[in-house]
């Protein structure tokens, strides 16, 4: 049986950075009793970046970063010296957590520079992050968009996701419902408010000739550009059911 866990904002763990340049909000870490100083398996979090600068190193981990709002970021990896990565809103970017990575706020256009003349402060960057241990897991991250130019329902076929995977839905800006269709079984359903997170742990699909689907519906009557869900799948590299 899949374990469905809904996390409220009050469940998140806020940590101010030692350098004073920002803070992180830990949504979830596995195993739950571990910290960033421990050999954790995976972690999802958001951050508020007040001053851009070097990223923390996570050797042996894969990272994905998504800019939510505020200043955009440009990233520089020492391992890719001739490449600049310009991050845009809601465009997931993945990289090796062990790389030496620096960042800066994206340089404004000339017209924006004139408007910001004599101003020394800039808007903070809000981002979302996924990090998984490379020798245990592979993860994917995509954005589900709802609104005037998008449909109000997304159907995810679970048949393409391996058993024992973890599915995470971070609801950014709308009311949504999440429903798992189980052929011949009762339907599992929950409702998520903005900034709530659903974690479906240890996915086990039903054996059936019919498809198993996860249906995400936006229930807001007037969805807007913030009506988005970050959809993450964390899959084990080797099935835990494999035995000698």
**Residues 6+ away with beta carbon under 8 Å from 165:** 202, 203, 233, 234, 235, 236
Beta carbons within 10 angstroms of residue 61's beta carbon:
22
Beta bridge partner(s), residue 101: 77
pLDDT in tens, 21-33: 899 999 999 999 9
Q: What is the mean pLDDT of residues 188-204?
A: 94
Over residues 191-202, mean pLDDT: 96
- In SS3 terms, 197-237 reads as EEEEECCCCCCCCCCCEEEEEECCCCCCCCCEEEEEEEEEC
Are domains 3-137 and 144-236 of this chain identical in fold?
yes
Residue 243 has pLDDT above 50, yes or no: no
Per-residue model confidence (pLDDT) at position 27? 98
Q: What is the CATH number of domain 3-137?
A: 2.60.120.10
101-131: pLDDT as tens digits: 999 998 665 555 444 444 444 589 999 999 9
Contact by Cβ (8 Å): 38, 224: no
How far apart (Å, rounded) are the C-alpha atoms in residues 184 and 187? 9
Name the CATH architecture for the domain at 144-236.
Sandwich (2.60)
pLDDT confidence of residue 151 = 72
Any idea where the domains of the chain sit in the sequence? 3-137, 144-236
Q: 52: pLDDT confidence band, cut at 50, 70 and 90? A: very high
pLDDT at residue number 171:
97
């Amino acid at each position: 049986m899949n374990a469905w866990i809904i996390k409220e904002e009050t469940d998140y763990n806020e940590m101010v950075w030692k350098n004073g340049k920002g803070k992180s909000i830990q949504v979830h870490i596995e195993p739950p009793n571990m910290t960033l100083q421990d050999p954790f398996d995976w972690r999802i979090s958001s951050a508020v970046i007040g001053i851009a600068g070097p990223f923390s190193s996570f050797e042996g981990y894969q990272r994905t970063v998504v800019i939510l709002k505020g200043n955009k970021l440009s990233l520089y990896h020492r391992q890719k010296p001739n490449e600049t990565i310009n991050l845009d809103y809601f465009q997931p970017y993945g990289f090796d957590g062990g790389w030496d990575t620096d960042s800066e706020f994206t340089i404004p256009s000339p017209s924006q520079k004139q408007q910001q003349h004599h101003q020394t402060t800039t808007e903070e960057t809000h981002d979302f992050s996924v990090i998984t241990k490379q020798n245990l897991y592979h993860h994917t991250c995509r954005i589900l968009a709802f609104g005037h130019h998008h449909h109000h329902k997304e159907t995810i076929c679970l048949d393409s996701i391996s058993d024992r995977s973890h599915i995470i839905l971070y609801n950014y800006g709308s009311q949504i419902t999440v429903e798992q269709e189980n052929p011949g079984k009762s339907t599992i359903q929950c409702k998520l408010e903005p900034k709530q997170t659903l974690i479906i742990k240890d996915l086990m699909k039903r054996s059936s000739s019919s498809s198993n689907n996860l249906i995400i519906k936006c229930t807001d009557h007037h969805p807007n550009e913030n009506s988005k869900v970050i959809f993450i799948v964390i899959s084990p590299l080797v099935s835990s059911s494999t035995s000698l």
